[in-house]
Amino acid sequence: MPADRARLLLDCDPGHDDAVAIIVAAAFADVVGIVTVAGNAPLDRTTHNALVMRDLIGLDAPVHAGCERPLVAPPRHAGFVHGESGLDGAELPEPITPLDGTDGVEFIIDTCRSSEGVWLVPIGPLTNIGTAFRLAPDLPGRVAGVSLMGGGSFGNRSAVAEFNIWADPEAAAVVFDAYDPATPGSAAGPLIMAGLDVTHRFQVTPPRIAATRAVPGRLATTLADLFDFFTDTYLSRHDDGALDGAALHDPLAVLAVTHPELFGHVDRHVVVETRGEHTAGMTVIDERRLLERSDPNCRVLTTVDADAAFALVLDAVARCSTGG
């Protein structure tokens, strides 16, 4: 493993786009561990799917199961997008390598304390990370940063709330507040947010699915089948012409760490709404040009070189193909 690779702890809820994020992280970073969270599907399913992906790409990293329900909100899933299994659409082998642990929060705390400079990359609800920050207030200052998929200036589960934040607003608020200069003892960050404003610019179009299918090996075929399913469920819920393919959200949180040159960004103050009847789970991004605005706590990604990013996805698939 080249010494200059970023060390990532991936916190995920596989999930089709989570599965791609695991492949991209394995190809371009040093994955120190995967922790699963309830989100796209219940914890038992997201954990099962993470174990499947680990074996499928031959990744040498521990998998720990995390929290099975949000801090306060009721458990809510996204079977209408990812299927009841959380990873519908392809023939997937049963996992062989056993789960490494069932206290994912403890694994996060222990890992970040024993090996400073790890990137936390949460790409599901922030329940595990928020719980870890609450139990270990020293953690935000010990990690290299947080690069999360979530939020945005618009929503997908409501007009204003994106799923990962909406599913556990209280946990998300802990994470964003931990890097807010207005919070006493807050950490410097960086907190990077790959929200819907950038992820909707990264779509799995039919030519990209065909390019995936053309990569030799079983992994590519499996991924292309997953893309077909993901695209169908995604586009079926949108106006005709709204998108050319499903938004491939989660890999961008990984690429923001491994390939930051692909992105445009602005630094903004962002807080999470936890109480609004119509706005709970909203990331409130302060875009005012007023000098009185709050100091930024978040690097909000705004653009991505989508062709270059998808070329890296294809490269990652090729690198992770075990020839199976």
User: Taking CB under 6 A as the rule, does residue 249 contact ligand RIB?
Assistant: yes
Percentages of the chain per state (helix, strand, coil), in multiples of 5: 40, 15, 45
**Phi, psi dihedrals of residue 83, rounded to the nearest 5°:** 85, 165
User: Taking CB under 6 A as the rule, does residue 18 contact ligand RIB?
Assistant: yes
Among 6, 9, 11, 15, binds Ca ion (CB under 5 A): 15
Instruction: Quote the tokens at residue 45.
Output: 């399913």
Q: How far apart are CA 175 and CA 183, in angstroms?
A: 11
User: Taking CB under 6 A as the rule, does residue 250 contact ligand RIB?
Assistant: yes
User: Taking CB under 6 A as the rule, does residue 197 contact ligand RIB?
Assistant: no
Q: Judged by CB under 5 A, which stretch of 6-14, 25-33, 97-105, 285-293 contacts Ca ion?
A: 6-14
Nearest distance, CB of residue 93 and Ca ion, angstroms: 21
Q: How far apart are CA 229 and CA 117, in angstroms?
A: 37
Nearest distance, CB of residue 15 and ligand RIB, angstroms: 4
Q: Which of 25, 46, 302 is nearest to 167 (CA)?
A: 46
Name the residue nearer to Ca ion (CB basis): 15 or 89.
15
Among 9, 16, 18, 70, binds Ca ion (CB under 5 A): 18
Between residue 150 and residue 189, which ones bind Ca ion under the rule CB under 5 A?
Answer: none
User: Taking CB under 6 A as the rule, does residue 273 contact ligand RIB?
Assistant: no
Give CA separation, 259 vs 6, 251, 304, 306, in Å. 10, 11, 11, 12
Residues involved in catalysis: 249
Nearest distance, CB of residue 188 and ligand RIB, angstroms: 26
User: Taking CB under 5 A as the rule, does residue 123 contact Ca ion?
Assistant: yes
Residue ranges of the alpha helices (H) in the chain?
16-28, 43-57, 79-82, 104-114, 127-135, 139-142, 163-167, 169-178, 196-199, 206-213, 218-235, 251-258, 306-320
Name the residue nearer to Ca ion (CB basis): 18 or 273.
18
Between residue 53 and residue 112, which ones bind ligand RIB under the rule CB under 6 A?
Answer: 78
Residues 300, 195 contacting (CB under 8 angstroms): yes
Instruction: Quote the tokens at residue 251.
Output: 């890999």
Give the binding site for ligand RIB (CB under 6 A): 13, 15, 17-18, 39-40, 78, 123-124, 149, 156, 162-164, 249-250
